[in-house]
Structure 1
Amino acid sequence: MIAVAGGKGGSGKTTTTLGLARALSRRGAPVVAADADWDLPNLARLAAETDADGGRDARRGAEVGGIEANTVLDAVREADQIAADRAAPTVLAAPDEPRSVDPGATFNALAGATPDGAPVLLDSPAGASPDVAAPLRAADGALIATPLRRAALRDAAKTAAIARRLDCPPVGVVAIGARSVPERVETLLDCPVLGAIPDGGAAPLADPAVRSAYDGLARRLGETAVATGWQVA
């Protein structure tokens, strides 16, 4: 299980979670992508809005943005494992009443509800809020998503430090809105750069260059899978 984490809101975590999930699906992996940002959930909505760009996301249950989306809580309450599809990622929305749900127990249960070897991506809350602790504690590692602006990199470094303290070592960093990454970024965050995602404009997941960049990120993440506790197809 990988927590996609970052600094302040707008750092590209949700787009990276979905873009990476779709890229892993294109490699044949039965991916599950879950919204762990329960105060500002938008993963299922983004999946619905960009469905034609990236494939068919599995949905049923609570209504999100005019479509039906299974929630994280629905998934862990079911008796059977999640039937993750190899053709497209299974996208799980935030619970309908998140304040009545224990996020730590839910994310821990999600790991047991997914097929063996299936990558699970958690779209984590921004920054250093208390809510970010639950997905980081449940995950095997963190993927740090950040723009290359000075303030954003400082925030990303704080997030990486929090992840380490919660026994969720950063497995890599992905630079958002960039085509290349200075070497000092690896030094600052103390983890390898796994990808650079170019600016795709208002609809980045529809941009072929962005799609290709996420394919490259999925490949490089697969090369580090031994450190994450799961295998990538």
Structure 2
Amino acid sequence: MGRLISVASGKGGTGKTTTTANLSIALGKMGYSVCAVDADLTMANLSLVMGIDDADVTIHDVLAGRNTIDEAIYSTAYENVSLVPAAVDWEHVLIADPRKLPETIRKLKGRFDFVIIDCPAGLQLDAMNAMMSGEEVLLVTNPEISCITDTMKVGIVLKKAGLTVLGFILNRWGATERDVPPEVAEEVMEVPLLVVVPEDPAVREATLEGTPVVEYKPDSEGAKAFMELADRISRIAGLKARVRG
């Protein structure tokens, strides 16, 4: 049975899209079938990161009732990884109904081993609809106390809404001496720390090249961290469903 995992954060710019792309490709490398979904309807970037920037049908068209979700699934250049892209123009944003995101994305359940959903930041309507499309949540934060506390609040809300919070990623750690230590971040977040992704020039280079770092420089520290994340996610995702079963 496929798993639906929302990638969420309290603030923008934490690395949700980078995490979604790299986690999806890393899981694909491990032999899992994966569908990455760009559910950030106003700031769509996942499509560009994953090399599909000219899609005829997007998640916006599906939410507007123009097309089916099947027509919005594209193969990517990465093994075992498909993508449901989003549009990057405001005209599509105006016609898409974000309230339809959960019912739309959940149609992918069972067709893939993992559906990884790139969500907007915060707790606004668009973000909540995107996050509630998943059954489990992966939180992404940076090592700044304001970012950590905002992401913690998102986790609390999603737990109360019935989603399983798998844990969090401490992204871009080590950039400054003021960074919150991982053990302190975990204490504040009150959910498991799954992996620390270090500040790594290779990740920025990969972004500029339009190729996620696990493919661009697989031996880099950043890539190794995302592969470690994929390994942990593959072992813990779906735990709640298995226990209930």
TM-score range, shorter chain: 0.7 to 0.9
Shift of 1:173: 0.3
How far does the alpha carbon of each residue in 1:71-105 deviate from its partner, in whole angstroms, 9 at most, with x for none? Answer: 23567705689587881421222246133222232
Are positions 1:171 and 2:166 aligned together? yes
Alignment of 1:126-165 (within 5 A): 126-165=121-160
RMSD over aligned Cα atoms: 2.7
Scaled by the length of structure 1, what TM-score is found? 0.80
Q: Distance in 2 between matches of 1:147 and 1:163?
A: 19
Partner of 2:58: 71
Scaled by the length of structure 2, what TM-score is found? 0.76
Partner of 2:120: 125
Shift of 1:191: 1.3
Partner of 1:101: 96
SS at match of 1:203: helix
Counterparts in 2 of 1:88 and 1:69: CA distance versus 1, 3 Å: farther
Q: Distance in 2 between matches of 1:108 and 1:84?
A: 22
Higher-Rg structure is 2
How far does the alpha carbon of each residue in 1:79-135 deviate from its partner, in whole angstroms, 9 at most, with x for none? Answer: 689587881421222246133222232332222235445201111101222211102
**Is contact 1:2-1:228 (8 Å) kept?**
no
**Is contact 2:170-2:182 (8 Å) kept?**
no
Counterparts in 2 of 1:188 and 1:155: CA distance versus 1, 3 Å: same
Q: Greater CA deviation, 128-137 or 21-30?
A: 128-137
Counterparts in 2 of 1:32 and 1:74: CA distance versus 1, 3 Å: farther
Counterparts in 2 of 1:16 and 1:214: CA distance versus 1, 3 Å: same
Partner of 1:37: 40
Count of aligned pairs between the two proteins: 214
**Is contact 1:181-1:196 (8 Å) kept?**
no
| Runs of 5+ unmatched residues, structure 2 | 175-179, 207-212
Partner of 1:2: 5
SS at match of 1:211: helix
**Is contact 1:3-1:142 (8 Å) kept?**
yes
Counterparts in 2 of 1:178 and 1:69: CA distance versus 1, 3 Å: farther
Are positions 1:209 and 2:221 aligned together? yes
Identity percentage of aligned residues: 25
